Structure formats: C-alpha cells, structure tokens
Amino acid sequence: MHACGHDVHITSLIGTAHQMAARKDQWAGTLVLIAQPAEERIGGAKLMMDDGLYTRFPKPDYAMAFHISADTPTGQLSIGEGIASSSSDSVDIIVHGVGAHGASPHRGKDPIVMGAEIIMALQTIISREIAPLKPGVITVGSFHSGFKHNIISDKAVMQLTVRSDDEDTRAKLLEGIKRIATNVGRMNGLPEDKLPKVLVSHESTPANYNDAALTKRVKGVFAARFGEEVFDNKPREGMGAEDFAYLVEPNTDVPGVYFSVGGTPQADFDREKAGGAPVPSHHSPFFKIAPRESVTLGTEAMTAAALDLLSKND
C-alpha cells in the first residue's frame, strides 16, 4: 500500500463539496476544489500550474490544503504562520569507476569506495557549512553498485533527498553536493571527463509558507468552531515537503494556508509511551490512521474555513 492517507484527503474533499453544496444559502462566491495528483513525488502541483490551473479555471483569492498526520492525535489540528513545510530536491549521483578483478584493485577505480567517501563527506555540509540555527537535511536513500564478491564494479548510483527552509540554504546544499562529489572523483585520480555526475531532478518543490493574515483568520475560525484545545502546538520536528507551495505565495500572488489533521488515536500514543508498539509513520507497512475521525475533522475544518472565507458579508 502507498500508506500516506491520501484517501482521507480525497474523501474529505468530497465531504467538503457535499457540505458546501448543502449550505449554498450561507455563502457567496466561487469554490474551486482541486484533486491534485502526484503530491507524493511532488510533481503534480507544478504540472497543474503549467497546465493553466489559474488561467483555465477561476484564480482563487485564497488557497487551502491539509494533510493527515500520523504524528498528531485524532481531534487535533496543527496550523502555524510562516514555514509550513520544507523545500525538497531529489538528487542522483552517478560515479563512473573502472572495473577490475577484486584481487587487483590497482588496475581499476573502485566506485564503491568513491561512493562511500562521497556519502561520508556529504555529512559535513549540514554540520560544518550551514549555520547551526538553519535547518537542512541530506539523506542518501539509495546506494547501488556491484555484482559479486570479487569484482570491482564500474559504476555506483546514489539517490538523495535534500531539504531546507529557504532558497539560500537550498542553493548552498545543492552546490555543496556537486562540489564534494566531483572533487572526490578528482581526489581518486579520475580524469576531468569522467568525474561523478550530479543530477537534480524535476521532482522538487520550494518551501511552503503560510500567509500570516490568512493563517490568523483560519485559526480563529477553527478556535470558534472546535475550541482552543483543538490545536496541537507541537513545533515541527522533521522536514516534510509539500508541492502545494507552487500554488501560493511567494510562487504565485495567492495567499495560502496548509495545516495538518490528527490521524492517530491518543490510545496508540499512550501504548507507545507505556513501552508498547510504536505509532507507525506514514509509508510504514503498519500505517494506520482512524478513518472516521480523520475524514470528519478534515471535512469539518475545511467547511468551516471555506464558509468563513466565502461569507456573504465579505
């Protein structure tokens, strides 16, 4: 299974459509519902924008979206001004070595050793080159090379995800990866035309910002509808990314707000705390959120916000 909860998102989208249609006398304006594909590979939003989302269809005054969160208890919403999610870039590093017999390493250039050197050297970009109070992540999620115990391979391929909260850091991380990979090649005596290649994929997104005024307004709506205790005020810990960024400021002139809806029953957190099985994360084969609570709160929150933003008095 894909296990990210996108079925909750689509069901809540349809639920919101139902709720808004049933209350047509309570609001005025145009509601655009976007069923965006490929959020996971962060490619869908950009493709929809390139395809004329804001020119072929009504361009909104505000944009809103949410993601279900396995890290947040059911019944809770997580919403804050400013940075809502990080930038993400997928990077491939291809190391071309020279194959040889494993017993005669001097006859080759070992791409596994060079790949390992690159991976270890990459760790210093975050720890030594980025200011300590600026967040960043470089994760090597895949490293493939070789066939057999006694053969030096001629190629190694690494796949990385790179995260940051601002464009300046993002550029520094990508530049650092390129510099380290190519110079590890030089260090190992590879000729200039055979240095490791660093490819940044089109599957990428800038950081996603919540507009301050819109966030305040929507937060006020949630507080009035569900009470202040609905907010889970835990600060961000990881550097998740969302391509919703392409739909909102500063990448368009549409103010946006992105929030999370709690998906895990409190009892599951209590069980983990008591030494029981941990709460499974998104994309874990054990991912399990409470469907009814998730869809209900997602739908109610979206409907309450939409009714306020489309209120007849505005």
Q: Which residues bind Zn ion (CB under 5 A)?
A: 4, 282
Q: Smaller CB distance to Zn ion: residue 9 or 109? A: 9
What number of residues does the chain have? 314
Side chain identity at 13, as an amino acid letter?
L
Instruction: Report, in Å, the least distance between residue 208 CB and Zn ion.
Output: 13
Considering beta carbons, is residue 63 or 190 the nearer one to Zn ion?
A: 63
CB nearer to Zn ion: pick between 4 and 79: 4
Residue type, 314: D
In the bound state with Zn ion, the residue whose beta carbon lies nearer, of 85 and 169, is 85
**Cβ 102 to Zn ion, closest distance in Å?**
40
Q: What letter would DSSP give residue 24?
A: G
Which residue's CB is nearer to Zn ion, number 38 or number 151?
Answer: 38
Contact in structure between 201 and 91 (CB atoms under 8 Å):
yes
DSSP count for the chain of H helices, then E strands: 7, 11
For residues 66-84, one letter each, b for 16 or more C-beta atoms within 10 angstroms of the residue's C-beta and e for the rest, the string is: bbbbbbbbbbbbbbbeebb
Owner of token pair 């005669």: 104
Nearer to Zn ion, 26 or 281 (CB): 281
Token digits for 260? Answer: 């999370």
Quote the CA–CA distance of 88 and 95 in Å, as a whole number. 23
CA distance 205 to 175: 17
Structure tokens at 190: 């590879």
Q: In terms of CB distance, is 216 or 283 closer to Zn ion?
A: 283
User: Shortest approach of Zn ion to residue 4 CB, angstroms?
Assistant: 3
Collect all residues with Cβ–Cβ distance below 8 Å to 233 and sequence separation of at least 6: 78
Q: How far apart are CA 210 and CA 244, in angstroms?
A: 11
Tell the smallest beta-carbon distance from residue 314 to Zn ion (Å).
31
Residue 295 beta carbon to Zn ion: minimum distance, rounded to whole angstroms: 15
At closest approach, how far in Å is the CB of 233 from Zn ion? Answer: 22
Token reading at 111: 């791409």
For the bound state, the minimum distance from the C-beta of residue 212 to Zn ion, rounded and expressed in Å, comes to 25
